[in-house]
Amino acid sequence: MSKYRHWAVLASVGALASACELGLEERACSVSAGGEGACMEGWSCCEDNICRRDCADTGEPDETGEPGGGQLGTSPHDDDPPPTPVRVEVGPGGGEVVFDEASLRIPEGALAALTPIELGVVTTAPLALPSGEQASRFYFVAPVDTSFALPATLEVPVDAAPSQFMMVLELSPAGWRMMEEARYNSQPESETGTVSWTTQRGGIFVVLAVAHRASMALAIGDTPYTYGCDEGGRGAVGVGDPNGGVGPSFSTQNTSANAPECPWPATEPGLWLDVIFRNFVASDGLPLGSWDLAAPESILPLRVRFIASVEEELPVGAQRPYQYYDSTTPVEGADGPIPDVTYQGFYQSPLASGSVRVSRLPTVENTGYSTEAEFHGRAPSLYQISLSNVTLGATAEGFPNSDEPYPPTLNVASASLVHAF
């Protein structure tokens, strides 16, 4: 499978809703069924079974290199001609539509009357996908305005191993929407399998192997820095804390060495961001929600730390200047700054301000891997940790650089880390 590198402008896996007002005008139809009726007035049902204003606008780059419509990267099936969609009349008693290796199972009572239901694939995406690898074709269930009174089950083959986190996306008026409660089904004597989920309407669907994309935008003094990387598919790596705790870590040093497609100039400062969580029950996963770093008494112990360092080659014998920034003050007797909770009997004033939000991504059940999850005997989950307007204070840890001293505070305008736990 090929990476969708030209979609790297999307900041994170969580950026699924597009500002584009595309909606469902470019939606599935059926040429074989004379599908103009499935398209809005003024739109045509094109040969790839998509409604468009202009069938010549296929989303392929024009002479300027800009795509004319929906962007679509390399699919595992790009060299294969799409099979003809399958159309079946399904009534109140239910039925099944089988297309190639995909199927749509409609239960009894889902339809009130005999209805022509079609299952097939489209060859171009009506809207750019988030960062990741396409694990399936773009499947459509038509007519798109079909409504099932009871959930129908759609099952499609995927070209991705279950060790990769996957998500099912449905095209909605606001953009790609993440589907809940999808499941990976292994196939005997095969390295890949199928993904199944339920839907109560027609539409366009795709399975995506998630890219663990991480990014950060910050300022050291008056100088802004921006960095993002899929980290060679690894995403933000896990990090431990001397005082206990786990969380994601993202740095230019790690990615430059391990992911050559994400270089960082050696003349620029090294950037290293950690987000550490403590005092949560591992079987419950990372604590979800939003917290104000300036009010740690109201949150679970949460620590944000940052290291800025000089990366350029230094004279022999010279020490590399660096500076630690942290969201908490040191506690006497502890090895470095540590966040505290009110029931411990004392409260430490923070060095930080800003907000941190943690959300769990609705990945396909039975996909993905995490060493921490395996250690704790729980199914792995994929989390997005977002930082907004976070200010961190310098600590006593650091090597002074009299020529170019680091500022007393550091501002992280935004950061997005995807972490498996």
pLDDT < 50: residue spans in the chain: 1-27, 31-37, 40-42, 53, 57-74, 232-235, 256, 336, 338-347
Q: Output the pLDDT for position 305.
A: 82
Q: Output the pLDDT for position 326.
A: 82
Task: Kindly state whether residues 177 and 319 are assigned to the same domain.
Answer: no
What are the phi and psi torsion angles at 305 (to 5°)?
-135, 155
Q: Output the pLDDT for position 342.
A: 37
Structural domain for 116, as ranges:
5-210
Task: Kindly state whether residues 305 and 379 are assigned to the same domain.
Answer: yes
Task: Kindly state whether residues 128 and 229 are assigned to the same domain.
Answer: no
User: b/e string for 354-383 if b means 16 or more Cβ within 10 A?
Assistant: bebebeebbbbbbbbebebbeeeeeebbbb
Task: Kindly state whether residues 243 and 136 are assigned to the same domain.
Answer: no
Whole-prediction pTM value?
0.74
Of 181, 210, 239, the domain-final residue: 210
Of 210, 229, 259, the domain-final residue: 210
Task: Kindly state whether residues 371 and 351 are assigned to the same domain.
Answer: yes
Task: Kindly state whether residues 121 and 64 are assigned to the same domain.
Answer: yes
CA-CA distance, 168 to 176, in Å (whole number)? 9
Task: Kindly state whether residues 345 and 255 are assigned to the same domain.
Answer: yes
CA-CA distance, 412 to 354, in Å (whole number)? 9
Task: Kindly state whether residues 225 and 331 are assigned to the same domain.
Answer: yes
Number of domains in the chain: 2
Q: Output the pLDDT for position 4.
A: 23
Task: Kindly state whether residues 221 and 260 are assigned to the same domain.
Answer: yes
Q: H/E/C letters for each residue in the chain?
A: CCCCHHHCCCCCCCCCECCCCCCCCCCECCCCCCHHHHCCCCCEECCCCEEECCCCCCCCECCCCCECCCCCCCCCCCCCCCCCCEEEEECCCCEEEEECCEEEEECCCCCCCCEEEEEEEECCCCCCCCCEEECCCEEEEECCCCEEEEEEEEEEECCCCCCCCEEEEEEECCEEEECCCCEEEECCCCCCEEEEEEEEECEEEEEEEECCCEEEEEEECCEEEEEEECHHHCCCEEEECCCCCEEEEEEHHHHHHHCCCCCCCCCCCEEEEEEEECCCCHHHCCCCEEEECCCHHHCCCEEEEEEEECCCCCCCCCCCCEEEEECCCECCCCCCECCCCHHHCCCCCCCCEEEEEEEEECCCECCCCCHHHHHHCCCCCEEEEEEEEEEEEEEEEEECCCCCCCCCEEEEEEEEEEEEC
Task: Kindly state whether residues 166 and 266 are assigned to the same domain.
Answer: no
CATH number, domain of 127, equals 2.60.220.30
Task: Kindly state whether residues 229 and 142 are assigned to the same domain.
Answer: no
Of 175, 210, 245, the domain-final residue: 210
Q: How many CB atoms lie within 10 A of CB 33?
A: 17
Task: Kindly state whether residues 154 and 303 are assigned to the same domain.
Answer: no
Task: Let me know: does 322 contact 309? Beta carbons within 8 Å.
Answer: yes
Percent of the chain with pLDDT over 70: 68
At 58, which amino acid appears?
T
